[in-house]
Amino acid sequence: MTFKKIDPFFQILTFVLIISLTFFVSLTESFVLALFGVAYLFIQGAFKPGLKYLCVTLLTSLLLILILRTTNTYIGLLGWLITILFKLLPTMIFGVSLGLIPINELRSVMASFKIPNQLQMALIVGLRYFAILSDELHEIRQARLTHGLSFRNPIYFRRPLLIMDYYLVPTLMRTTKLIDDLSVAAYTEG
Amino acid sequence: MLKLEHVEYLVNKKNILSDINLEIKDGEKVAFIGPSGSGKSSLLQLINGVATFFNEDRINGTLSLKNKRLSEWSANELTKIIGNVFQDPRNQFFAKNVADELTLRLGNFLNDTKEIQRQSEKITADFKLEGLLKQSPAKLSSGQKQSVAFAVATSTNPELLVMDEPSANLDLPEILHIRDLLLNLPRKTSLIIAEHRLFYLLPVIDRFIYLKDGQIKAEFTPHQLKSLTAEQRSKMGLRSLEIDSFSEIAAHIRQTEQKDNKLLTAMNVSFGYNRRQNKLLREIGLAVTPGESIGLIGKNGVGKSTFAKLLAGLITPTHGKIFLENKRASRWRLQKEVWYVMQETTYQLFADSVWRELFLNLEQTPVLTAEAEQLLRDLKIGHLKERHPATLSGGEKQRLVLATALLHHPKILILDEPSSGLDQESLQCIIRVIRKHREQFSTTFLTISHDPQFLYQVCERVLVFKKNAQPLTYNVQGERYSAFF
């Protein structure tokens, strides 16, 4: 099966457009943009992330519909957080799509836009950060399992604060280190 | 090429490096050696400009590259002169696949697409990367990542190559391959390398610079280094200079009695990360008796760590069964009984102090408290009880994760490259503790390592992994490590 390659120039333009639209569109329009992004991924043969983001889009939409019907303050607060996520969803999906472009092609398109070299590198590092972060989260999950801490372990329910230790601490530590490492690597790349 | 005069480097108000005076000539090949925490990596960061760029106000003294102060060079200019290979190359990559990574670097220097392509093909052939070009750097094994990082760094023929422990996770053939590549570096290319493994550097290096406590304490030619006795080297925290010099040390390894009761049995275990690709492991079998110590060796990327993760219940085999004490073991049970110490130990540190790390998921009984105290003393990290794990050095983190694992008394302990990046003293600490736990608690150890010095001293047999084949078993005694390959 051959997949369509979307022109990197067009992809960057779309990405910029989607970012600008994020703050101006309604929730229904965000939903349409997210679906458009998912279709974008499918067209390029990225079925796994496409399917993942389709599920996220549908789930968050469903949650939002349910939350909008309730009058509970706390659930309303949760709805506020989900609304932010939902608004950012199209940008995230189109960002993933941008990540599918080979770095060299992306760079040459950015060069044709006369984007300075340092800024090109910063954008590349930004894209790279999210890709590595997902690998890091996978490793952290495995590290938790080495301590026997899956949700089947009753200790989670006896000492819920452990969740904080085993989820938040390593995630924060690794993301900070990741930023340091990537900055150093970007520096050594000029 | 490079001159450092009275250089000092402060981190957290502490002198990491002090009074460094050093001159490196064009084309000279220099190695920084010394125990963990002696300042080797910090000195490399000063030289490649990273420390100058991020923390210039914490540096005193004069650093000059090609007769120009280092701080006056822009990052872009330095990239053209210096090629870098980091200790942990994971985050050094930016592209989606290895081929892109090569062309990304080349594209910084060359404009002609054909020339980029030609140079990329040459580097691919030189570094034997043909099979990896389409793969994502993130999915490569540690050794493969290091080879790719080396290839990328040298692709533009830098005048100075800076390498921080490039052999840390490499297998023996790859180390020898790296040695050959270093030997073939152009004469005008200067090399600065920080290393614990010295055996492969002897024919490459012109001058060994010994660092301790952030200061240059001595300099050696290869001949002078060779003339040091094993005792002198060990006292200085330096590792052996030969690959196969450990047979005598191994002589007193306790041989486990052959027992009928199997602790762990893997039957026809297969696994593949991707359905579309060939399976990484095919119908692997292994039987382990209580108290045994087995080394898992083989080329990078053959699936040693994957096999270990299967045994630890971190991933599920696509085919085959794993039995624990003759009962089919679920992933959940394996996670409880088999403890896996990851290669990158920072993932396994969760608490805000060393002491809390030990008891994070464990009740602090008087017996365990005494045992924990003893373990920390044995591993020489007793004085760090109140420290935050993130502030420990690589070797100290390694020992802390090992201590945590041992305190939980798992039936089987899997160690993934426990000796990478360790100096002689830290290595001996770990070896002593492993031996003690085998004697006292009959803990079974499975150790993945490329380090002969380590394997010879802790394992009684090794399992040699080969691609798409059943692993072969050898007894360590009487065998030369290099013969396993």
Q: How many CB pairs under 8 A join A and B?
A: 120
A51 and A144 assigned to the same domain: no
The answer to the question of residue A59 being in a domain is yes
A137 and A97 assigned to the same domain: no
The answer for residues whose C-beta is within 8 angstroms of residue B157's C-beta and 6 or more apart is B186, B189
Report CB contact under 8 Å: A102, B100.
Answer: yes
Query: Using an 8 Å Cβ cutoff, are B311 and B471 in contact?
Result: no
Report CB contact under 8 Å: A152, B332.
Answer: yes
CB-side neighbour CA atoms (13 Å) of B219: 9
A3 and A90 assigned to the same domain: yes
CA torsion A47→B277→B414→A136, rounded to 10°? -30
A150 and A96 assigned to the same domain: no
Which residues of chain A lie closer than 8 angstroms to B390, CB-CB? 173
Q: How far, in Å, CA of B64 to CA of A87, rounded?
A: 51
Nearest residue in A to B84, CA atom: A188
A128 and A71 assigned to the same domain: no
A7 and A43 assigned to the same domain: yes
Interface test with B, best of A5, A104, A106, A141 (most B CBs within 10 A): A104
Separation in Å, CA B7 to CA B60, B61, B137, B162, B163? 5, 4, 36, 18, 20
Domain span at residue A19 reads 1-101
Angle in degrees, 0-180, between the axes of helices B366-378 and B424-441, rounded to the nearest 10: 140
Report CB contact under 8 Å: A162, B360.
Answer: yes
- Cα four-point dihedral sign B453, B455, B457, B461: negative
> pLDDT tens digit string along B356-404?
999 887 888 999 999 999 999 999 899 889 888 888 877 888 899 999 9
CA torsion A165→A133→A181→B89, rounded to 10°? 110
Separation in Å, CA B288 to CA B102, B324, B330, B463, B481? 43, 10, 17, 11, 22
The answer to the question of residue A110 being in a domain is no
Report CB contact under 8 Å: A146, B314.
Answer: yes
Interface test with B, best of A157, A164, A188 (most B CBs within 10 A): A188
A92 and A128 assigned to the same domain: no
Given the structure tokens 């010095």, which residue do they identify?
B453
Q: Any chain A CB within 8 A of the CB of B81?
A: no
Report CB contact under 8 Å: A148, B361.
Answer: yes
In the predicted structure, residue B15 carries a pLDDT above the cut 60: yes
> pLDDT tens digit string along A27-75?
899 999 999 999 989 988 888 889 999 999 999 999 888 888 877 777 7
Last residue of a domain, one of A36, A70, A101: A101
Q: How confident is the model at residue B328 (pLDDT cuts 50, 70, 90)?
A: very high
A17 and A92 assigned to the same domain: yes
Structure-block tokens of residue A88: 């950012």
A12 and A59 assigned to the same domain: yes
| Total domains, chain A | 2
- Give, for all 190 residues of chain A, the pLDDT tens digit: 556 678 888 888 888 899 888 878 888 999 999 999 999 899 888 888 899 999 999 999 998 888 888 777 777 778 888 888 888 899 989 888 887 887 777 877 887 888 877 777 777 777 777 777 777 888 888 888 887 777 667 776 777 777 777 777 788 877 887 777 777 877 777 6
Interface test with A, best of B54, B76, B335 (most A CBs within 10 A): B335
Q: How far, in Å, CA of B407 to CA of A73, rounded?
A: 46
The pLDDT of residue B102:
86
In the predicted structure, residue B53 carries a pLDDT above the cut 90: no
Which residues of chain A lie closer than 8 angstroms to B312, CB-CB? 145-146
DSSP state of B439: H
Query: Using an 8 Å Cβ cutoff, are B424 and B392 in contact?
Result: no
Interface test with A, best of B134, B347, B407 (most A CBs within 10 A): B347
Q: How far, in Å, CA of A169 to CA of A148, rounded?
A: 17
Report CB contact under 8 Å: A188, B48.
Answer: yes
The answer to the question of residue A106 being in a domain is no
Structure-block tokens of residue A42: 């499918």
Question: Can you tell me the mean pLDDT for B333-350?
Answer: 88
Question: Judging by beta carbons within 10 Å of its beta carbon (0-12, 13-18, 19+), is residue A135 exposed, middle or buried?
Answer: middle
Q: How far, in Å, CA of B145 to CA of B319, rounded?
A: 28
Residues of A in CB contact (< 8 Å) with B are: 99-100, 102-104, 107, 117, 124-125, 128, 131-132, 135, 139-140, 142-143, 145-150, 152, 155, 162, 165-166, 169-170, 173-174, 177-178, 181-185, 187-190
Which residues of chain B lie closer than 8 angstroms to A99, CB-CB? 96
Choose the most confident range, by mean pLDDT, from A117-131, B142-156, B318-332.
B318-332
Of A21-30, B73-82, B138-147, least confident by mean pLDDT is B138-147
> pLDDT tens digit string along B226-248?
999 888 888 888 887 876 655 44
Q: Any chain A CB within 8 A of the CB of B348?
A: yes
Q: How far, in Å, CA of A65 to CA of A69, rounded?
A: 7
Last residue of a domain, one of A101, A131, A146: A101
Report CB contact under 8 Å: B314, A142.
Answer: yes
Q: What is the DSSP string of A102-122?
A: -HHHHHHHHHHTT--HHHHHH
The answer to the question of residue A108 being in a domain is no
In the predicted structure, residue B79 carries a pLDDT above the cut 50: yes
Closest by Cβ to B360, choosing from A103, A165, A184 = A165
The answer to the question of residue A109 being in a domain is no
Report CB contact under 8 Å: A181, B91.
Answer: yes
The pLDDT of residue B255:
54
Q: Using CB atoms and an 8 Å cut-off, which of residues 389-448 of chain B contact chain A?
A: 390
Of B3-17, B239-253, B288-302, least confident by mean pLDDT is B239-253
Query: Using an 8 Å Cβ cutoff, are B414 and B448 in contact?
Result: yes
Q: How far, in Å, CA of B161 to CA of B150, rounded?
A: 9
A142 and A97 assigned to the same domain: no
Q: How confident is the model at residue B162 (pLDDT cuts 50, 70, 90)?
A: very high
In the predicted structure, residue B253 carries a pLDDT above the cut 60: no
Q: How far, in Å, CA of B146 to CA of B87, rounded?
A: 8
> pLDDT tens digit string along B263-283?
899 998 988 877 666 788 888
Query: Using an 8 Å Cβ cutoff, are B49 and A186 in contact?
Result: no
Closest by Cβ to B96, choosing from A103, A169, A170 = A103
Whole-number average pLDDT of chain B: 85
Q: How far, in Å, CA of A173 to CA of B420, rounded?
A: 22
Q: Using CB atoms and an 8 Å cut-off, which of residues 128-157 of chain B contact chain A?
A: 138
The answer to the question of residue A107 being in a domain is no
Q: How confident is the model at residue B250 (pLDDT cuts 50, 70, 90)?
A: very low
The pLDDT of residue B251:
43
Q: What is this structure's pTM?
A: 0.77
In the predicted structure, residue B307 carries a pLDDT above the cut 90: yes
The pLDDT of residue B247:
45
A65 and A133 assigned to the same domain: no
The answer to the question of residue A44 being in a domain is yes
Closest by Cβ to A148, choosing from B48, B53, B336 = B336
CA torsion B219→B225→B231→B235, rounded to 10°? 30
Last residue of a domain, one of A101, A131, A148: A101
A96 and A148 assigned to the same domain: no
In the predicted structure, residue B258 carries a pLDDT above the cut 70: no
The answer to the question of residue A158 being in a domain is yes
